[in-house]
Structure 1
Amino acid sequence: MGRGGFKDKKEYTWEEIKKHDKRDDRWLVISGEVYNITNWSKRHPGGPRVIGHYSGQDATDAFRAFHNDLGEVQKYLKPIHIGTVLQDEDESELNTDFRNLRETADKMGLFKPSYFFFMLMLAHILALEVMAYLTLYYFGTGWGPFVASIIFYATCQVQNGWLQHDFGHLSVFHHRIWDKVFQYFIFGFIKGASPHWWNHMHYQHHAKPNVMDKDPDVRVEKLFVVGEVMPIEVAKKQKKSMPYNHQHKYWFIVGPPLLFPVYFQFMLFRHIFTRKLWVDLVVVLAFYIKFFVLYTPILGLGWTLVYYEIMRVIESHWFTWVAQSNHIPMDVDNDKAKPWLKLQMHATCDVEKSFFNDWFTGHLNFQIEHHLFPTMPRHNLYKIAPLVESLCKKHNVPYKVKPLWTAFRDVVTSLKHGGELWEATYHAHHLS
């Protein structure tokens, strides 16, 4: 028998494996075993892209990070197993130490959720939604109640986004069906968004964070250039383009204000209709029916639309600043097939722990730990943080922790730097 209980099959060198990274020819490696995922990727529950991003590469730690029940997954692996790696180049001390750290976290019980915590999070979201409505119902539609109600509703929506994120990662029940049911209720019915669309995009982000052409969150070159590599590549390719040298200024106009009200609204409905996701459509429409049935009698149709757009703009600012503060100021590069820990560490940073920061960011102030262990319940991320930091120090891997406002400032600073880099390269190649 070969490794992992498989019968001995052909042995492949890494040189041969790396050739199979095309859309119609995909292999990957898990724990030294080689799998042909060319056809299976189309049936992959997480979507073909997220698994396809590891074609020709070692996916051992990515595989472990995304799957809670390894026994269940084995039945899908056996039919596509084609051999073993002749020499496993991934057996470095860093990878061994990281895998040992994961075992330590498991033994510490850090993957076990607190149902009370998640019930509390859901209760406070529902309470905020009720408060938003009752504020207008009992106190009228003057400017004071109108503004207060919008703040309650926007806060509800942001906290909703953090909570559905937990269910999307299967970190609450560790069960695909139950987590999916709650995600559809929270993200679909309460928020009015498509869970399938979110998971499709977000799983890719986690698989290859800040990797150009693979992470959807950095496919932003039509409006922004980020990192050290993208500005140069865009400047060399394009003779006519956006004025990226001013992107740190127009970011405040087209970035946080428009992400939710415009881009996300368009993309989620586009995703629903192109993929014929009728369940997603039903839950999203249920949200809109609920919203307009409740608010139109109080505000009238016109002001209900104004209320909705203002609420989405506030939500968009909140989400965008939090989400980008952990990633945009970090490395953005082409795929270098980095090992899991280095890949995540170069793309993420943490924000200091405090009661407010934990709540305000949905515990994504521990972005490093969340990316390393995406199925770990968020209330346990701070417990593994000291061990992650210690491991990083041992292997000279940068571990960055910032104050919240510094993290926000760094978004603008990094955009300004990217714009200057683009401008210098553009002038050197097209105007000299």
Structure 2
Amino acid sequence: MTFEEKPEGNGSLVDENQLYLGEKHQAKEKPIANGKAKLSARQEANAKCDLPRKSLHTYIWQEVQRHNQETDQWLVINRKVYDVTGWADRHPGGRQVLNHYAGEDATDVFRAMHPDPDIVRLYLKPLLIGELAPEEPNQERNKNAQGSFLQHDMGHLSIFKKSKWNHLMQTFVMAHLKGLSAKWWNNRHFQHHVKTNIYPKDPDIDVGPLFVIGELQPVKYGKKKIKYIDYEKQHLYFCTVGAALLMPVYFNLDSILVMYRSRDWEDIAWVSSFYIRYFITFGPFYGIFGTMVLIYLVKLLESPWIAYVTQMSHTAMKMSKEENRDWFSTQVLATCNVEQSLFNDWFTGHLNFQIEHHLFPTMPRHNYHKVAPLVKSLCAKHGLQYVNKPILKAFGDILRALKKSAALWMDAYYRHPETCCKCA
């Protein structure tokens, strides 16, 4: 017996009550100077929803999977087929997230990443082009069959949601308090969440040429004779130079580069407020150069903490190319938890519950411990390994994983003397 989600109502993503509320809300808008009501983005979506709809075209999975290019992106949510090609550049989570799921079923990740799906569905409806044929399964035929079980069971665990002010607070903390682009971080982090440890779609594991991690990247670099750094020593320079320079050098330069390329003036203004605040506060005492050194030192102190807390849950876990597994299994296999304690919860900011963080990315962190026993029992029910480590072992596993990857690189590099860069 399998659990499948039935389409809601008559198959429409927005029911009549929602449309009525939208019209009612629009009626309350105050007229502007020219006498016309100023439509919000949500009201525009409502207006589009009122357009007469023709009978939906039906597709088989083979047709959907052909539309998996950056210039031609279809995806499936709740058995409905959407053409998101034109919407990708306006997607708040970045176009890469949509591109990573082009030609695939995105139902589970859609639910996980959108705390208020009713509003999002208003924007989805103009993109609707059809639905899966009745004889087609919910997910791609080559996707793990247990996905339908997990999709059903996980739905019962979605019991907590973030505050509606979370986005503003996140922007304030990331840009104003830390001096990094909030949109840069979101676009990067969303990709990490939707394709965790999938090379090269997860930017957190695409760390060449500084490191080679996992099992695939070291062999690839070794066979192509790629040696930017002595990877045999990468576990040593990670815990010395690498972890220390992650925040003050790599993250800062990457954030600035993304803001410059996108000409995102809002983000630039927020990040500028970080530096203005520092120079107003400390400039009179330390001068311009001294204040810049202070900023660097603060980020230098923070950097090892960020590096170890984020990498302890992923570096030693499964890394692979796209296997098109169900989303739940992918998240569990690519993440691990660190044992709960008062210190661990405080030190990691509740990110010791990394499995729950990935399954429920919109859940407030302090609620992870409430849902963890349910997730653990669900993993046991479906035969998925639920990894929970002591914190020191998790830290040590980072270095052990780097040494293991380095050994794979050395074996491929020195055992293939006939291979050269021209063979790449």
Structure 1 length-normalised TM = 0.80
Aligned to 1:316: 303
After TM superposition, the structure 1 = structure 2 runs for residues 392-403 of structure 1, keeping only pairs within 5 Å, are: 392-403=379-390
Q: 1:365 aligns with which of 344, 352, 359?
A: 352
Higher share of residues assigned helix? 1
CA drift of 1:304 comes to 3.5
CA drift of 1:185 comes to 2.1
Aligned to 2:178: 191
Establish whether residue 51 from structure 1 lines up as the match of residue 103 from structure 2: no
Q: Aligned residues: percent identity?
A: 43
CA drift of 1:71 comes to 1.5
CA drift of 1:187 comes to 1.9
Distance 1:29 1:303 in 2: 54
Aligned to 2:150: 98
**Secondary structure of the equivalent of 2:130?**
strand
CA drift of 1:320 comes to 0.6
Change (3 A) 1:340 1:239: closer
Establish whether residue 429 from structure 1 lines up as the match of residue 383 from structure 2: no
CA drift of 1:303 comes to 4.0
Structure 2 length-normalised TM = 0.81
Q: Report if the CA contact (8 A) 2:151-2:328 is conserved.
A: no
Q: 1:111 aligns with which of 137, 148, 160?
A: 160
Aligned AA for 1:98? Answer: L
Q: Report if the CA contact (8 A) 1:230-1:333 is conserved.
A: no
Aligned to 1:123: none
Distance 1:283 1:38 in 2: 30
Whichever of the two has the greater Rg, that structure is: 2
CA offset digits 1:27-84 (Å, max 9, x no partner) = 1111222111121212212111111100111111000011112211122222222222
Distance 1:236 1:290 in 2: 50
Distance 2:226 2:146 in 1: 43
CA offset digits 1:187-241 (Å, max 9, x no partner) = 2222222111111111111111111121111111211111111111222234544
Change (3 A) 1:71 1:237: same
Distance 2:85 2:305 in 1: 40
Establish whether residue 60 from structure 1 lines up as the match of residue 107 from structure 2: yes
Gaps of 5+ in 1: 113-170
After TM superposition, the structure 1 = structure 2 runs for residues 122-271 of structure 1, keeping only pairs within 5 Å, are: 171=162, 173=163, 175=164, 178-271=165-258
Gaps of 5+ in 2: 1-5, 13-53, 420-424
Distance 2:251 2:259 in 1: 12
Change (3 A) 1:298 1:218: same
Distance 1:15 1:90 in 2: 12
**Secondary structure of the equivalent of 1:105?**
coil
RMSD of aligned alpha carbons: 2.0
Q: 2:64 aligns with which of 1, 17, 27?
A: 17
Change (3 A) 1:398 1:23: same
CA offset digits 1:256-281 (Å, max 9, x no partner) = 11011111111111111111111211
Establish whether residue 408 from structure 1 lines up as the match of residue 408 from structure 2: no
Aligned AA for 1:17? Answer: V
Establish whether residue 331 from structure 1 lines up as the match of residue 310 from structure 2: no
Distance 1:239 1:195 in 2: 34
After TM superposition, the structure 1 = structure 2 runs for residues 1-16 of structure 1, keeping only pairs within 5 Å, are: 3-4=7-8, 5-6=11-12, 8-16=55-63
Aligned AA for 1:347? Answer: A
Change (3 A) 1:45 1:300: closer
How many positions carry a matched residue from both structures? 366
